[in-house]
């Protein structure tokens, strides 16, 4: 009977030893899983921060593009106004030249009449 009990104690000791090995392996796996989870969490936070930075940079770039577009639109409008003003001045100059030419023709005509009268 003692022999049977000793065998049973030995079997229980082996089972306990096996259970301890399994527990150690499970703890090791748990530690690795926690490390992996921490690594994934860190990578996720880094990716989120990068996404936020990219979103801010995109907003800044969009604002800069809108400002530049507005500036270019204003320059285009100013160029149109300048062209219109130049056209108006050119038309005035042509009209003035025509009036001056007519006046000179009249002066020449009156000179000729005056010369004929003398």
Tokens, residue 113:
């009449």
DSSP summary character for residue 118:
-
Q: Which DSSP category does 1 fall into?
A: -
pLDDT band at 11 (very low <50, low <70, confident <90, very high): very high
Distance between CA 81 and CA 90 in Å, rounded? 14
pLDDT level of residue 26 (50, 70, 90 thresholds): very high
Residue 118 pLDDT exceeds 90: no
Tell me the pTM: 0.52
Pure H helices in the chain? 2-117
Please tell me the distance from the alpha carbon of residue 49 to that of residue 46, in angstroms, as a whole number: 5
Supply the mean pLDDT for the chain.
97
Name the residue among 77, 2, 46, 34 with its Cα closest to residue 69: 77
Mean pLDDT value of segment 9-36: 97
Q: What is the pLDDT of residue 1?
A: 79
Q: Specify the pLDDT at position 2.
A: 86
Average of per-residue pLDDT across 68-93? 98
Domain residue limits, the chain:
1-90
- pLDDT, mean of residues 74-87: 98
Distance in angstroms (rounded) separating the CA atoms of residues 23 and 79? 82
């Amino acid at each position: 009977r003692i022999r049977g009990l000793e065998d049973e104690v030995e079997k229980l000791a082996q089972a306990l030893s096996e259970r301890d090995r399994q527990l150690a392996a499970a703890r090791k796996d748990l530690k690795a899983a926690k490390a992996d989870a921490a690594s994934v969490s860190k990578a996720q936070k880094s990716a989120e921060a990068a996404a936020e930075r990219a979103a801010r940079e995109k907003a800044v770039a969009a604002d800069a593009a809108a400002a530049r577009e507005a500036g270019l639109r204003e320059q285009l409008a100013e160029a149109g106004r300048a062209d219109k003003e130049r056209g108006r001045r050119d038309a005035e100059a042509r009209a003035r030249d025509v009036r001056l030419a007519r006046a000179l023709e009249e002066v020449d005509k009156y000179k000729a009449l005056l010369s004929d009268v003398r």
